[in-house]
Structure 1
Amino acid sequence: MSPALDPVLVRELVPAVIGVLVRRGADFASAEDAVQEALIRALDVWPDDPPRDPRAWLVAAAWRRFLDAVRSEASRRDREDVVDAEPSAEAVSGADDTLRLYFLCAHPTLPPAAAVALTLRAVGGLTTRQIADAHLVPEATMAQRISRAKKKLEGLPLDRPGDLGTVLRVLYLVFNEGYGGDVDLAAEAVRLARQLASLSDEPEVAGLLALVLLHHARRASRTGPGGRLVPLAEQDRSRWDTTLITEGVAVLQAALARDRLGEYQAQAAIAALHADAPSADETDWLQIVEWYDELLALADTPVVRLNRAVAVGEADGPQAGLAALAEVPDDVPRRTAVLAHLRERSGDLDVAAGLYAEAARAAGSVAERDHLTREATRVRAARQEP
């Protein structure tokens, strides 16, 4: 991508430009296609002739692409009232459309899984591969899912906002991809969660905001030199953002006081207990296990059971953790790494070293692979000590 098409700028502009086209009468799928074509045109034009207002340029170019498509499909007569509009900078520099597009992508006609995938691709800026990895499916399967979602929205008026739960799920997935993935979207997800919380009285919206604030507060300490992964127990807690932690805890307490517990509130309560501990050794693991039990009652998923097994191992010992881990399917990501950790804590270093190496081979990122490889090396060295 040329210097003129900075990826961060593109991720900021695309939702806004799609929003302008949708407001002018374009269906979502056609608007998204037109914006992508405009970006391809920008690759050729911007390096030699950068626009003074990139947003206005993209709106004008995408709108022309959309109108060309409308004309070629003999749909011009239904849109003649808008064909002459040529945008000015003032016309496109208004409100942020990103959150609105999240709701429109969560269209009532789409299954939640399709709505999540479409939003991550069109609004979140993730690649099809990144979305497939987050959902643990092949890239080709995810590409088909996104394509079917776009086709289903073709020609439909986007005047029916979608499900709030789907929007919350997408926001959290975007945050997690930005927090630990290839594209930095975490800050944007936090911003949108704040905006949504200011517009909604639902406790789960506040729960999501608290959760992302508490996780975001630890971001600076999660990696070391060269992008080296730093586990929670080894993080420098003096680098945690206490302002974000204080805000997150306050938001969570207000939500819990409503006595309408949801999964994001439960997850935020767990994150708050980690944030409250002065050191890893002082973590209140017993209370964390209790919150995982609450979370299981709300969302009994393999990932929740996996994380609960870690907490049980800390609270009640490695054998109890292994018993809890036995309830987690073998193919769940990170299960082998957790098994290695629990085996190491139980003193079975030979098995633990092999499991760490196995987990490294299956790691989903370079940072995770390198971390697990170092763990395998460390345990092998400890095994050989007299």
Structure 2
Amino acid sequence: MYYNQLTYLLRVTNSCFLNCSYCMVKDQLTHDRINDTPSDLAPHSLVETMFDKAIGFGEVYLTFVGGEPMMAGKEWFRKTFEIMKSKAEQRCISVSSRIYTNGLLLDDEWVEMFKENGCQIFISWDGLGFGKKGSQKAYEIITRYAKQITTVTPVISKANCHAIKDIYKQLNEAGVKRMTCQYDIYASTEQMIEFGNATCELFRHIESEPLECKTRFLIYHDAKAMALGTGRLSSNEMSAAVLNNDYVINPDGEIILGLPQDEDERFRLGSIYSIGHINDVLFSAKMKWLNDCYVKAQRLIGNYERTNMLTRGGGFFFDKKQIQDMDKPFMAKLACYHVILSYFLNRGAK
């Protein structure tokens, strides 16, 4: 075992001022107004504890999620960044951070603070006219801060899958550096195949107009890298499964694996306040069971066998809670991946 890299996903708050139907944590959200201060903010003592329980690791990655994490306010983040800097110096470690946000609260002061503290900005936006995260206001904010935003991620659903090429064109015109996407985890197999086909249409567009398409579409590059067997994956959608040393921390300090359906006892690993070190959960019976499930999910045979091996179980494991058995590949998403990878595999990935 290497004490190298640890990733925490800190759920800053369960509060959000949007109500997206596909949200992975919709059952746990509190819906407040945009300027409300959430009542369940993660205390700064929790941030300190997270670092204290990670002693020995060389790198700690802290990802801010929600709810809408920016509802915590600027002062909460300033204090958090101070703690991170102090702990990095104290523990002689490298600390990195990113935030996943709908971006509607972003302004010059926020952007400057994130820049000063090396916090990457990931915006979730679904394309003009598509739901609460497809507003003109959000698009104007994305355009204004395109150079400072790390990546924009639309959630591809039944509503907007036919427009994925248009969404890309909008972000390309806005000057966004990178686009990836997440496929709606609640979609059926048939819908996932439709998502895959729509994604391949975008691939063809990118290849047909390489000089015009300046926004890097990470799914395209990841799928091609998988098909070639070379290259480094850069999109969260198609990156290899991470089961160990990648934990969600709720505002009350509870440790869970993954965001969806976290009320499931199988994925609740206790409180970070009550353990001696974060690796204590790594050797628990629950984690042993989970790793056994992961191994079993690799043993698929049939038409999707190669795709399953390339994608390490077709999206295993975070997206599968109460959707499909844990010891099997995520078949719906695997169907989408199969379409996407076949785009390159069928032509020798040239």
TM over 0.5: no
User: What is the TM-score of this pair, normalised by structure 1?
Assistant: 0.29
User: What is the TM-score of this pair, normalised by structure 2?
Assistant: 0.31
Instruction: Choose between structure 1 and 2: higher strand proportion.
Output: 2
Greater relative contact order, per chain length (Cα 8 Å cut-off, separation 6+): 2
